[in-house]
Amino acid sequence: MSAKPDLKIVLCSPRGFCAGVVRAIDTVERALDKYGAPVYVRHEIVHNKYVVDGLKKKGAIFVEELAEIPENTTAPVVFSAHGVPKSVPADAQSRNLFSLDATCPLVTKVHREAAIHFKRGREIFLIGHSHHPEVVGTLGQLPVGAVTLIETAEDAKTINPKDPNNLAFVTQTTLSIDDTAEIVALLKERFPNINGPHKEDICYATTNRQLAVKKVAPVVDALIVVGAPNSSNSQRLREVAEREGCRIAVLAQRATDIDWTKFGNIASLGITAGASAPEVIVEEIMDAFAERYTLHVETVSAAEENEFFPLPRQVRPEAAAE
């Protein structure tokens, strides 16, 4: 039996679950523990099939709209980490549904910023990707027409506001740092008085994971991003790797997704994971490579993370004692 070739694995740090994702998953699991199955969840709690399938096995039922939930149910209804339009909690209340809001606090921050700009009479630009649930939720915080979506640098060059001196912008939290910086620079160049967030809307987890990939991508032959195709932050990690010169940069939800023909002649491999991807899949993918190569593993770190977001009050452990 011939010896397996050597492969240097460079793990990006931080990677995987962020505090908002941990909070959202914990909200569903605590609700199942406290109230029993079923627990309804509007939209995928986070964009990861492994996580969603695991919660389904425990009794979570995922729906796209509240209309799919039976009348007169007493089961909890959880709103996903991406946030929802204002019409959704209003609909839940009108139906007397018991709702739990697992919206990431950093998304809620963007909602509040948009509301403040609206109260101050400003025309609002939202930098983001249309149809992404976070963008749908942010647009739905305000009346139709109050927010204009900007998806590309070209949009920023051509947008014509009613009053160039009374503008504000907010952004989706999971965008490419570099793409967003380019769009913001264009807006500020065209509209010097535009109001932006006091602190960046792109969340700490998105930023840190992209910085780690920027460090690793130029020094490896290939890079795998563990994440789902509909995960914005995971797709951005793959794009960052490509921009940094990594010739093979792919997204994989599970080890079974790997196209081994692409990895035949590599000596080094970077691995990261989007903010909604569990570490167990990183380990699964490393195990798959270990069957073919002798691994030599190191970690490259871009930042330390210790953020924590408290659970919704109804499912906090202390709520039972109150």
Nearest to 205 by CA among 228, 234, 241: 234
Residue 131 known to bind ligand? no
Q: Which residues contact 171 (CB under 8 A, 6 or more apart)?
A: 110, 126, 127, 128, 180, 184, 197, 200, 201, 202
Residue 193 known to bind ligand? no
Residue 276 known to bind ligand? yes
Residue 232 known to bind ligand? yes
Residue 134 annotated as catalytic: yes
Residue 111 known to bind ligand? no
Residue 82 known to bind ligand? yes
Residue 171 known to bind ligand? no
Sign of CA dihedral 209, 211, 213, 215: negative
Which neighbouring-strand residues pair with 297? Answer: 9
Residue 132 known to bind ligand? yes
The one catalytic residue among 134, 154, 244, 283: 134
Residue 198 known to bind ligand? no
Q: What is the 3-state secondary structure (H, E, C) of the chain?
A: CCCCCEEEEEEEECCCCCHHHHHHHHHHHHHHHHHCCCEEEECCCCCCHHHHHHHHHHCEEEECCHHHCCCCCCCEEEECCCCCCCHHHHHHHHCCCEEEECCCHHHHHHHHHHHHHHHCCCEEEEECCCCCHHHHHHHCCCCCCCEEEECCHHHHHHCCCCCCCCEEEEECCCCCHHHHHHHHHHHHHHCCCCECCCCCCCCHHHHHHHHHHHHHHHHCCEEEEECCCCCHHHHHHHHHHHHCCCCEEEEECCHHHCCHHHHCCCCEEEEEECCCCCHHHHHHHHHHHHCCCEEEEEEEECCCCCCCCCCCHHHCHHHHHC
Supply the residues annotated as catalytic: 134
Annotated binding site for dimethylallyl diphosphate: 47, 82, 132, 231-233, 276
Annotated binding site: 18, 47, 82, 104, 132, 173, 203, 231-233, 276
Annotated binding site for isopentenyl diphosphate: 47, 82, 132, 231-233, 276
